[in-house]
Structure formats: structure tokens, C-alpha cells
């Protein structure tokens, strides 16, 4: 698979989009530099599943800017358009830092049946992490239901997966833009299992 990159500017913020083409399931990391581990998770899971991945990062930036997901759906990002045209279901990986729910993995997005399937794979993470699919139990800002959110723009929509920090990286020190995060192996395995369920 040939990886393609594109430099884009959204709301004055420069980002690097990296697309690795694969199958019709797409792994998306819109905030790869803001939400540690999501870029690495998207790439690892897509590679193991033969899926497509699209990752946005701000290389070398010590204080990355967080652009809300619906505002990332801009027409001048050619690789995002390619991703949305090719992929049928998107799994969009994000990070949350909710102190009241440090074990919760929230599964939002418009495709609720896909969210439940993905949660079945993630159930292997219990009791360390708790997959949550009931929208009423997901904080409103983490539900991923906005019509312009890229997770909902593919043919069958998708699932927005909000992961707590400990489910995204094993890093113990402070964040460094030059040092990649290492996601926990068992979280990668569980996501792979869930994503494969979406193709069955």
C-alpha cells in the first residue's frame, strides 16, 4: 500500500494529512497531535485489518491547535475527499480526558449498529475499560452526531470512539511531539477484533 501525504491549512492551522489506502473500512484520526496515541492506533489497526487510514498531525508543533471535528470537513483537503469516497464505514479515533469517567470508552457516531458491533470487540477490555454505546450516557460533546463531522460523511456513516488517555498510550512522561506514542497492545488487539466484525 502506498502512503500519500498532503499539507493542508484549516482555519490558519497547518496540518499534514497522511492517507494509507486499503479496504472499505476506514480508520480516521483527526487530532493525531492533540489526542496522543490516536494516530498510532489508527495506523496499527488499519494495517492489521487491511483497512484504510487517514491521520492528521501537526508535526513538530509543541502546542497543537484543536479544530473541532465538524470544521475539519473542508473541501480543499483532497485526501479527506479521497478517503470519504473510498470508505463505506469510518471508525474515528479520539481521546477524552474526563476525570469522572477515566475507564469509559464512548462509542458515538451516526451508525449505531456499527457502534454496537465495535463495542463487542472492545468488551475484551473489561473491567479495565468500559465500552459505552448508550447515547444518553455519552457526554453531548463526545457523541459525534454532527452532520458535518467526517465520521458521518461516508456511505454508511461511522463510529466515533472516544478513548481515555490510558487506553491510548503507555507513555509515562510528558508529551513530546518528536516521540511517537505507543498504544497498549491489548487495546490495539480489541480494536482490531471490533473492526474485523464490521467487515463480516
Q: Stretch 164-173: mean pLDDT, rounded?
A: 84
pLDDT number for residue 13: 95
pLDDT > 90? residue 190: yes
CA–CA distance, 40 with 184 (Å, rounded to integer): 10
pLDDT category, 163, cuts 50, 70, 90? very high
Q: At what angle do helices 38-49 and 185-199 cross, to 10 degrees?
A: 50
Yes or no: say if 25 and 87 are a contact pair by the CB < 8 Å rule.
yes
Determine the pLDDT at residue 76.
Answer: 84
Mean pLDDT over 9-15 rounds to 95
* Model confidence, pTM: 0.95
- Rounded to whole angstroms, the Cα distance separating 97 from 153 reads 26
Q: What is the pLDDT of residues 28-72, one digit of tens each?
A: 999 999 999 999 999 999 999 999 999 999 998 989 999 999 999
Per domain, the residue ranges of the chain are 4-199
Compute the Cα dihedral for 20, 121, 30, 79 and give only its sign: positive
Question: What tens digit of pLDDT does each residue of 104-160 get?
Answer: 999 999 999 999 999 999 999 999 999 999 999 999 999 999 999 999 999 999 999
- Fold classified for 4-199: Aminopeptidase (3.40.630)
178 or 58, which is more confident?
A: 58
164 DSSP 8-state letter: E
Burial 62-82 (b: 16+ CB within 10 A, else e): eebeebebeebbeeebebbeb
Between the CA of residue 12 and those of 8, 18, 65, 162, what are the distances in Å?
10, 19, 10, 26
Amino acid at each position: 500500500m502506498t502512503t500519500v501525504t498532503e499539507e493542508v491549512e484549516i482555519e490558519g492551522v497547518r496540518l499534514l494529512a497522511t492517507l494509507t489506502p486499503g479496504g472499505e473500512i476506514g480508520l480516521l484520526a483527526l487530532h493525531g497531535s492533540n489526542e496522543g496515541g490516536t494516530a498510532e492506533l489508527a495506523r496499527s489497526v488499519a494495517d492489521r485489518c487491511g483497512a484504510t487510514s487517514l491521520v492528521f498531525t501537526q508535526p513538530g508543533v509543541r502546542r497543537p491547535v484543536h479544530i473541532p471535528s465538524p470544521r475539519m470537513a473542508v473541501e480543499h483537503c483532497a485526501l479527506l475527499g479521497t478517503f470519504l469516497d473510498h470508505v463505506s464505514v469510518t471508525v474515528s479515533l479520539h481521546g477524552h480526558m474526563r476525570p469522572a469517567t477515566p475507564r469509559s470508552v464512548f462509542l458515538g457516531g451516526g451508525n449505531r449498529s456499527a457502534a454496537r458491533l465495535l463495542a463487542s470487540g472492545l468488551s475484551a477490555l473489561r473491567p479495565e475499560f468500559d465500552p459505552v454505546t448508550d447515547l444518553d450516557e455519552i457526554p453531548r460533546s463526545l457523541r459525534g452526531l454532527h452532520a458535518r463531522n467526517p465520521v458521518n460523511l461516508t456511505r454508511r456513516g461511522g463510529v466515533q470512539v472516544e478513548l481515555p488517555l490510558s487506553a491510548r498510550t503507555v507513555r509515562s512522561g510528558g508529551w513530546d511531539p518528536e516521540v511517537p506514542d505507543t498504544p497498549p497492545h491489548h487495546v490495539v488487539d480489541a480494536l482490531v477484533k471490533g473492526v474485523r466484525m464490521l467487515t463480516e
